[in-house]
Structure 1
Amino acid sequence: MPYTPEHKEQTRQRILQAAAKLFCSHGFDRVTLTQIMQQANMTHGAFYAHFSGKSSLYEAAMQFATSNAFWARDDKQTEGKDTHIKALVTRYLNWGKKNSEPSPLEFLVTDAAHKEEKVRKAYQACFDNLVERLEGILEKHGNREAKALAEETVVSLVGTVAIARSFAPSMQKDFLKRAKLRIVSRLNSGLKTP
């Protein structure tokens, strides 16, 4: 008896969820299909029913992670001009805290220069998505250099977390706090006052 379309989609979502979690934590090269399927509590047969290979799964998993990331969601409670920006920066720099949402960008910096084109393109799409989201917020507040400021900010966020990961835990909190103040200040200086 064939599986229903709903069952097939649920299976695909479980695989994507497991893959996104593992890829975001360890990067493309350090994750195996066996680990992904164990995380999803499924067999390899289920994998090949949905994906042609690991790089195809990576591409789909990064799209899944990006579309479900906190920066892709609108926060209806943000009213002030810089509240949304502060919330985005704060959540991004909450790396390592309980219940924090990992971003594929900071954990997958090594994937940006990967030898497989699908892997590089998936990383680029994730980067572009965050830049576009931030650019849209900045444009709403009258920033004429929104694209450049958004790119600069995303590079700062990704670099900050990537570097913080290399520090001793006792140094990470202060480093992230200083970075947050610096990044938010730079963003606020680029906003037009009403």
Structure 2
Amino acid sequence: MPYSPKHKEQTRQRILQAAAKLFCSKGFDRVTLNQIMKQANMTHGAFYAHFSGKSSLYEAALKFATAKGFWARAAKQTEDKETHLKALITRYLSWSDPNPDSPSPLEFLVTDAAHQDETVRQTYQECFDSLVDRLANILEKRGVKHAKCLAEETVVSLVGTVSIARSVTQPLRQDFIKRAQGRILTRLNQGLACRTMVGDVT
């Protein structure tokens, strides 16, 4: 008896969630299909019923993670429930204890940006652009001028901070992240100051 469409979709979602968690924590090259299927608690044979290969899974998994991530949920908040930018920045920099149900793309994937596989590079770029666009949308709603430029600058700073922090030993790592967070929030405050005076980053 063939599986129902609902069962097939549930299976695909399990694979995507497992792949997103592993890809977002280790990057493309350090993850195998066997590891992903083991994480999903499924047999290796089930993989090819849903994906043609590792690159196609990477593309689907990062888009899945981007759609499910904290910033995506924040971007959907209504006007009368204004997003707290400080919480967004803090969440992104809290990479040492990520939420396994909501992995954040780009947290650990700096090396994937220059990957030889075109699908991997293109997927990374799309995720980067998506984060920039979502932050720009939040800033635009708060009346920030040149929101896209400030959003891009902020995401670049966040990715760079996380990348460098990985090579910094404790307890220097937390101090490094705290200083970087202060600089990023200060820059956002400066951007907010260019609009009509409506308070501070909270």
Bigger shift: residues 109-118 or 89-98: 89-98
Q: What's the TM-score once normalised by structure 1's chain length?
A: 0.93
Structure 1's unaligned 5+ residue stretches are: none
CA distance in 2, matches of 1:7, 1:36: 19
Q: Which residue is equivalent to 1:30?
A: 30
CA distance in 1, matches of 2:191, 2:50: 45
CA distance in 1, matches of 2:64, 2:24: 11
| Residue 106 (structure 1) shift | 2.6
Listed one character per residue, the Cα deviations across residues 116-160 of structure 1 (whole Å, up to 9, x for unaligned) are: 111111111110111001101111122221111111000000000
CA distance in 2, matches of 1:5, 1:31: 28
CA distance in 1, matches of 2:79, 2:35: 39
Matches within 5 A, 1:135-174: 135-174=136-175
The CA RMSD measured in Å over matched residues stands at 1.9
CA distance in 1, matches of 2:115, 2:97: 28
Aligned residue type for 1:14: R
Q: Which residue is equivalent to 2:85?
A: 85
CA distance in 2, matches of 1:133, 1:16: 22
Listed one character per residue, the Cα deviations across residues 15-68 of structure 1 (whole Å, up to 9, x for unaligned) are: 001111111111111111111111111112210000000000000000011111
- Taking structure 1 as reference, are residues 11 and 113 closer, same or farther at Cα in structure 2, changes over 3 Å only? same
Q: What's the TM-score once normalised by structure 2's chain length?
A: 0.89
Identical aligned pairs, as a percentage? 70
Contact 2:132–2:151 (8 Å) recurs in 1: yes
CA distance in 2, matches of 1:94, 1:155: 16
- Taking structure 1 as reference, are residues 96 and 13 closer, same or farther at Cα in structure 2, changes over 3 Å only? same
Q: Which residue is equivalent to 1:120?
A: 121
| Residue 102 (structure 1) shift | 4.1
CA distance in 2, matches of 1:63, 1:124: 11
Aligned residue type for 1:168: T
Q: Which residue is equivalent to 1:134?
A: 135
CA distance in 2, matches of 1:80, 1:145: 22
- Taking structure 1 as reference, are residues 71 and 113 closer, same or farther at Cα in structure 2, changes over 3 Å only? same
Contact 1:135–1:150 (8 Å) recurs in 2: yes
CA distance in 1, matches of 2:20, 2:99: 16
Contact 2:25–2:107 (8 Å) recurs in 1: no
**Alignment: residue pair count:** 193
Q: State the secondary structure of the residue aligned to 1:95.
A: coil
Contact 2:95–2:107 (8 Å) recurs in 1: no
CA distance in 1, matches of 2:78, 2:96: 25
Structure 2's unaligned 5+ residue stretches are: none
